[in-house]
């Protein structure tokens, strides 16, 4: 009986649930209200774990899913500006092309994709160039933070290892509010 119990423990039942253990790259979601627009970012959050990140794990000059597992997704409840481009409300994959001096940040209309394996540049909605900056202290786990929020703008900051990439997002809150008032008083 002990041998059978040990074999069952080692092999486990045919449909055993996975043990509840920490994931190497847990799912994360951050949300920010900007005027009357809600932004949300969802991503897999990898850790440095002693690895060389920039130029090795994440190669320079190649499209990156900007996180782990599924492509990172940026959602906006209303139309917004991404660089000089006006982008409709919706959910987009956020890809980046890291460079030592400049990064390309991409919004792509194919939001549900695994990694960057299915990246299709013909589905790009907008691209901007941003400059990376150095963080004062190392950040072990890749994190997105909304910073400097006003009623009309916010920065979406990617921070990992010793790098920060700041992505500007803008909204026309006055126009959105006036449209809401016009619709309500119709």
Tens of pLDDT along 133-161? 999 999 999 999 999 999 999 999 999 99
127 neighbors 83 (Cβ within 8 angstroms): yes
Residue 152: CB atoms within 10 A of its CB come to: 15
> CB 92: neighbour CB atoms within 10 A?
24
* Residue 131 phi, psi dihedral angles, 5° rounding: -100, 130
State the average pLDDT over residues 24-30: 89
Distance between first and last Cα of the chain: 77
Measured at the CA of 146, the angle between CA 44 and CA 76, to 5 degrees, comes to: 80
Kind and range of the H or E element at 38?
strand 37-44
pLDDT over 70 at 22, yes or no: yes
């Amino acid at each position: 009986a002990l041998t059978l119990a040990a074999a069952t423990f080692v092999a486990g039942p045919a449909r055993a649930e996975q043990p509840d253990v920490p994931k190497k790259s847990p799912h994360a979601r951050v949300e920010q209200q900007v005027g009357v627009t809600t932004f949300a970012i969802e991503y897999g959050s990898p850790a440095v774990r002693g690895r060389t990140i920039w130029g090795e794990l994440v190669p320079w000059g190649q499209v990156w899913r900007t996180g782990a597992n599924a492509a990172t997704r940026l959602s906006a409840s209303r139309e917004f500006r991404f660089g000089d481009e006006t982008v409709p409300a919706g959910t987009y994959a956020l890809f980046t092309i890291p460079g030592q001096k400049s990064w390309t940040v991409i919004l792509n209309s194919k939001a549900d994709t695994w990694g960057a394996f299915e990246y299709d540049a013909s589905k790009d909605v907008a691209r901007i160039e941003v400059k990376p900056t150095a963080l004062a202290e190392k950040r072990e786990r890749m994190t997105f933070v909304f910073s400097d929020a006003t009623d009309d703008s916010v920065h979406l900051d990617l921070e990992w290892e010793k790098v920060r990439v700041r992505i500007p997002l803008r909204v026309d809150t006055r126009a959105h509010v006036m449209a809401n008032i016009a619709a309500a008083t119709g």
